[in-house]
Amino acid sequence: MPLVLPTAEAVYVPQCGAGGGRSVVVLGSTGSVGSQAIDVIAAHPERFRAVALAAGGANPALLARQALQTGARMVAVTNPSAVREFTDAFTALAWAEGTSRRPLPVVLPGAEGLSAAAGWPCDVVLNALPGAAGLPATLTALKAGSLVALANKESLVAGGELIRRVAGPGQIVPVDCGHSAIMQCLPGWAYACPVPGVQRLILTCSGGPFRTHTRAQLAAVTPAQTLAHPRWRMGPLVTVNSATLVNKGLELIEAQTLFGLGYDRLSVVIHPQSVVHSMAEYTDGSALAQAAPPDMRLPIAAALAWPQRPPPGVVASLDWTRAHTWAFEPVDEDRFPALALACHAGRLGGTAPAAFNAANEEAVTAFLTGAIPFTAITDAIEQTLNHHTPVPDHDLTPDAVQAADAWARQHTRNHLLGLPAPIRGLAPNPARPAKEA
Ligand SMILES: NC(=O)c1ccc[n+]([C@@H]2O[C@H](COP(=O)([O-])OP(=O)(O)OC[C@H]3O[C@@H](n4cnc5c(N)ncnc54)[C@H](OP(=O)(O)O)[C@@H]3O)[C@@H](O)[C@H]2O)c1
């Protein structure tokens, strides 16, 4: 059963514009997606208003500016030692801007604060946290009954089956531009899959900065080169994932969880211009594509506004008076093995996607610190997947996902440090059910 359903069947359709616009909680508000969401909300007060924000605490001044700008009633700061900096920055800014009568929002620290923000009463929770750590927040927001605008694809990858059990019909709206494009290419904004007549979903992919590199050249790229994405400004994890194509691999698993068409009917095609954001191919020979400038504010606004169209002017339209060339080319899976690995993990199901994701996050951290070469990232994922015995979907619990995540991280670290891999029977895989351990 796919997670996304036709508008007519979806029960989670907030009243657009009622009571001063949709109330929105932004998790990860100071990040790339989160900041752009704040821009969209601030530009369209008739449609949206931010009621709570959450961030880790690395940028308290920006968080304070956002809280002041949006008038959010609650702010969660996961790092407790950043709370004081946040409140000082808020007070100083309010004073400097002559808005000192605006009350300090309720500030909640730690993981409890983040959980409170995810469950805060609102119409829509935008989850723009990075990594598998975003899963508990997704589950909390779903259980609280909010519509979830999901940028945190790792939630769906690591915990797709857990999310499926708690998500109501149509309660999740994707923010990833590819999945947002697909939902716009299905009939009448209705994201019913399998839609009769849809034979394939095609995710486009910029190919990243190393699209034309040989395997030897890939082995020599530096973290700085990798973080300079040609089209998108994103957080470090997703930028590296874009360069390895792990990001597209995660998106394949995400597409399967959201639309349920089957891995054999999902494809990826390289499109360096990043204007066509994805396509739905129909059995009649047509492919419907969504095209727009590469700007995350559009899919963010589309998710916040669903099932209505986003407000006018979120991004400037394409200039059709100019000549354009759009290229499409197949992925070279020898140089970029991440897609095949992701499909393998997705087909294995259960805890395998969580292990895939955790291995990648560990390997990316090692790459960014200069400890391993670029090509070792996907090698490490493959190595970890090969040693993982997944807990099957029907036995999946939050603890099993967490254990698989922890096991895969440890396994990947051991592998990268050249330490012995945990061996079945000697160092049991905690993701395996107890009777097998
Ligand atoms: N960036 C894009 O264009 C893009 C596009 C599609 C999908 N996505 C997906 O969107 C998600 C976010 O990506 P991003 O690029 O926006 O990430 P990012 O720039 O790294 O921002 C992450 C945000 O989450 C906050 N955060 C991190 N850990 C936290 C914690 N434990 N508690 C509370 N807040 C925490 C950060 O706050 P601090 O900085 O204070 O820690 C920051 O506000 C990822 O899943 C990514 O795959 C991103």
Distance 30 CA to ligand 1 centre (A): 8
Q: Whose CA is nearest to atom 31 of ligand 1?
A: 56
Nearest to 123 by CA among 30, 18, 33, 29: 18
Task: Identify the CA nearest to 306 among candidates 186, 160, 197, 196.
Answer: 186
Q: Whose CA is nearest to atom 6 of ligand 1?
A: 176
Cα–Cα distance between 278 and 370 in angstroms, integer?
34
CA nearest to 31, candidates 69, 58, 65, 64? 58
CA distance 227 to 223: 6
Give residue 57 CA to ligand 1 midpoint distance, Å.
12
Nearest CA to ligand 1 atom 3: 234
Sheet of strand 124-127, all strands in order from the earlier edge strand to the far edge: 106-109, 74-77, 48-55, 22-27, 124-127, 147-150, 172-174
Q: What is the whole-number distance in angstroms between the Cα of residue 188 and the centre of ligand 1?
A: 31
Report d(CA 183, CA 203) in Å as an integer.
Answer: 12
CA nearest ligand 1 atom 17, residue: 235
Q: Which residue's alpha carbon is nearest to atom 29 within ligand 1?
A: 56
Which residue owns the Cα nearest ligand 1 atom 21? 31
DSSP string, 245-288: THHHHHHHHHHHHHH---GGGEEEEE-TT--EEEEEEETTS-EE
What confidence score (pLDDT) does residue 418 get? 82
- Tokens 């007549």 belong to which residue? 197
Give me ligand 1 centre to Cα 323, in Å: 35
Determine the residue of 35, 129, 175, 180 to mutate for testing ligand 1's pocket, defined as the one with the most ligand atoms within 8 A of the Cβ atom. 129
Q: Is 435 exposed, middle or buried (0-12, 13-18, 19+ CB in 10 A)?
A: exposed
What distance in Å separates the CA atoms of residue 424 and residue 74, rounded to the nearest whole number?
47
**Cα 32 to ligand 1 centroid, rounded to whole Å:** 6
CB of 333 within 8 A of CB of 339? Answer: yes
Report how far ligand 1's centroid is from the alpha carbon of 234 (Å): 8
Q: Structure tokens of 60?
A: 């308290």
pLDDT at 169: 82
**How many A from CA of 406 to the centre of ligand 1?**
21
Beta strands 276-282 and 198-205 are antiparallel
- Among 27, 29, 33, which residue has the most ligand 1 atoms within 8 Å of its CB, making it the best to mutate? 33
Q: Which two tokens stand for residue 245?
A: 């194509």
Q: Where are the domains of the chain?
A: 22-175, 197-293, 349-436
- Nearest Cα neighbor of 176 from 269, 44, 277 is 277
Q: pLDDT value at position 298?
A: 98
Q: Are 358 and 399 in contact (CB under 8 A)?
A: no
pLDDT tens digits along 372-414:
999 999 999 999 999 999 999 999 999 999 999 999 999 999 9
What residue ranges of the chain have pLDDT lower than 50? 6, 8, 16-18, 190-192, 423-437
Query: Is the separation of the CB atoms in 26 and 53 below 8 Å?
Result: yes
Choose which CATH entry (3.30.930.10, 1.10.150.650, 3.40.50.1820, 3.40.50.720) describes domain 22-175: 3.40.50.720
The residue count for the chain: 437
Query: Which architecture does CATH list for 349-436?
Result: Orthogonal Bundle (1.10)
- Look at phi and psi of residue 282 and say left if phi exceeds 0, alpha if psi is from -120 to 50, else beta: beta
Task: Please report the pLDDT score of residue 307 as a whole number.
Answer: 86
From the CA of 425, how far away is ligand 1's center (Å)?
Answer: 38
Tell the burial category of 308 from Cβ atoms under 10 Å away from its Cβ (0-12, 13-18, 19+).
middle
Listed in sequence order, the residues at least 6 apart from 366 whose beta carbon sits closer than 8 Å to its beta carbon are 372, 376, 380, 413, 416
Ligand 1 centre distance from Cα of residue 427 (Å): 34
Letter for the amino acid at 245? L
Around ligand 1, the residues with Cβ closer than 6 Å are 28-34, 54-59, 78, 114, 128-130, 133, 151-154, 176, 232, 234-235, 238, 296
Look up residue 335 and give its two tokens: 């140089």
Starting at the edge strand that comes first in sequence, how are the strands of the sheet with 287-291 ordered? 266-270, 198-205, 276-282, 287-291
Query: CB atoms < 10 A from the CB of 432, how many?
Result: 19
What is the per-residue DSSP string for 177-188? HHHHHHHHHSGG
Question: For position 236, what pLDDT does the model report?
Answer: 93
The number of the ligand 1 atom at minimal distance from the alpha carbon of 77 is 33
Instruction: Kindly report the protein residue whose alpha carbon is nearest to atom 35 of ligand 1.
Output: 56
With beta carbons less than 8 A apart as the criterion, state whether 129 and 153 touch.
Answer: no
- What does the alpha-carbon distance between residue 174 and residue 49 come to, in Å, rounded to a whole number? 20
Query: Mutate which of 26, 32, 74 to test ligand 1's pocket (most atoms within 8 Å of Cβ)?
Result: 32
For residue 128, report the distance from its CA to the centre of ligand 1, in Å: 5
